[in-house]
Structure 1
Amino acid sequence: MEALHTPFDTRSAFQQHLASCISAAQHTLCLFDPDFASWELGNSNMDTALRRFLHGGGQLQLVAHQGQPLQRSAPRFLRLIQAYQHRIDLRRTHPALRQLSDSFCLADQSHLVRRFHSDHFRGEYSVFDATDVKTYQDRFITIWLDSGPGLLETPSEI
């Protein structure tokens, strides 16, 4: 398939492409953001898409610098974590990585939503771009390996 790149620069476009990326996922979702505050992981549409993905056997890996925004504003996502804890892995970055400020979602090694800086909504949605996907897959693995448990401050943490 031919690679497709769609730039975006608004919150609504980011949410639209993120929803498309998550809906396309069947096996793996790898998410990185400093705090996921702008991802709306707790809204009902996101909950439905993530439950479909996880119920179908998908595996979700999520890494952030801090988990407080999720705990404060995404109770539905916290319930999802409890219900599918066997399919969700959460990690917190070590202090040496806290300067990382980009944000991305990688689905099944074929779909990628990336924001160049987490404080802004300028980014790109890429589909079937093997080079972009490989770059961000390697980046996620590096971040994942340099991270550890402790994202959430509740007993429900995976």
Structure 2
Amino acid sequence: MPSDAALPSSLPEGRFDGREAFDRLLRIALAAAAQRGWKELIFSDPDFADWPLGERASIEALQAWSASGRRLVLLAERFDGVERRHARFVGWRRSWDHIVECRALRVSPAQAGSGVPSALWTPSWFLHRIDVERSRGLASADARTRSALRESIEECWRQARPAFPASTLGL
């Protein structure tokens, strides 16, 4: 996780290209979440398989961010990749279940990957991966674009069903 001194005074803005750039921007945003006191974070992606959620630095950043009055929303088409690839995140999610809401949007196999936007949304900044395959997109604080992205995510959220429970209870 970047130290506070390593965080820019303003979050990066502009187009990004490639997986390394996307991962770097995600790490910067997670590190900035606690420092900036964001009350809500929204993670949206078809499956989160290639997000750095299982990294120790990501969990440390989420731990620093998580507090009373915080809310993390996860929207996906499926969460099986999270459970397989991000064990640290699954453990953190279990501990912080009271601030985490998860939903999955069912899409047909032909629509897979095109239903849920790949984005990290915050109250003042966003990261939107427009081309998931090539990890290309836009990072910005632009209010109009951020609002449009939030509306797109909310539309998917309304159609989605609860998913990725913190634990499974059996009889």
Q: TM-score range by the shorter chain?
A: 0.7 to 0.9
Letter aligned with residue 146 of structure 1: Q
Taking the aligned partners of 2:104 and 2:91, their CA distance within structure 1 comes to: 19
TM-score (normalizing by structure 2): 0.80
SS in 1 for 2:53: coil
Structural mapping, 1:80-95, within 5 Å: 80-95=92-107
Taking the aligned partners of 2:133 and 2:150, their CA distance within structure 1 comes to: 22
Taking the aligned partners of 1:9 and 1:95, their CA distance within structure 2 comes to: 27
Q: Percent identity, please.
A: 25
Pairwise CA RMSD of aligned residues? 2.4
Structural mapping, 1:132-151, within 5 Å: 132-151=145-164
Taking the aligned partners of 1:42 and 1:3, their CA distance within structure 2 comes to: 23
Q: 2:24 aligns with which of 16, 24, 28?
A: 16
Structure 2 equivalent of residue 107 of structure 1: 122
- How many residue pairs get aligned? The number is 153
Taking the aligned partners of 1:151 and 1:133, their CA distance within structure 2 comes to: 26
Rg comparison, structure with higher value:
2
Question: Given the superposition, is the C-alpha separation of residues 144 and 101 from structure 1 closer, same or farther in structure 2, using an over 3 Å criterion?
Answer: closer
In the alignment, structure 1 segments of 5+ residues that lack a partner are: none
Q: Residues 48 and 81 of structure 2 are in contact (CA less than 8 Å); yes or no, is this contact kept in structure 1? A: yes
Letter aligned with residue 28 of structure 2: S
Bigger RCO (CA 8 Å, 6+ sep): 1
SS in 2 for 1:31: strand
Q: Does 2:43 match 1:43? A: no
In the alignment, structure 2 segments of 5+ residues that lack a partner are: 1-9
